[in-house]
Amino acid sequence: MKWLISSKPLNSDRDALIVRLILGGLFTWHGYDALAHYDLYLSMSRSVIGLGAHLEFNLVVFSQFICGILIVLGLFTRLAVIPIFITMTVAFFVAHKNDAFFQKELPFVYWLLCIAVFMMGSGRYSIDHHLQKRKPS
């Protein structure tokens, strides 16, 4: 029963894996959907930051699909979180700046999860961990 009131994590490597799988899995799914319906979603896109709708959409798809896969695998995890963090920053603070909070709540939650994954790192159950083990000290 002590573990219920303890301030220590139950298993930080397992926790990092779970959060990575949630964040990376959701973004991989969103990215796959964007790729599967590429022409439709591209036609509905508009430029938000001045780079042009086509380039911005491609950057979002890259961040969602490719970076999502990298996060699930735990490969270059902290680097892979950065494009998603930027995408969610733009979504929350720019694209939805005039929307009510409940309409932009999901990008905000993803943004917070990016911060958590970046801070936790990939953990022991990741490709990053195995690559680090092979490097000579």
Is residue 128 scored above 80 in pLDDT? yes
Domain ranges of the chain: 14-128
What mean pLDDT is predicted for residues 48-67?
Answer: 95
CA distance 120 to 79: 13
Residues 10-27 have pLDDT tens digits of 788 999 999 999 999 999
CA distance 49 to 60: 12
Residues 82-96 have pLDDT tens digits of 999 999 999 999 999
Which residue type is seen at 54? Answer: H
> Model pTM?
0.88
Is residue 28 scored above 90 in pLDDT? yes
Long-range contacts of 80-86 (CB under 8 A, 24+ apart): 81/23, 81/114, 81/117, 81/118, 82/118, 83/59, 84/23, 84/27, 84/110, 84/114, 85/111, 85/114, 85/115, 85/118
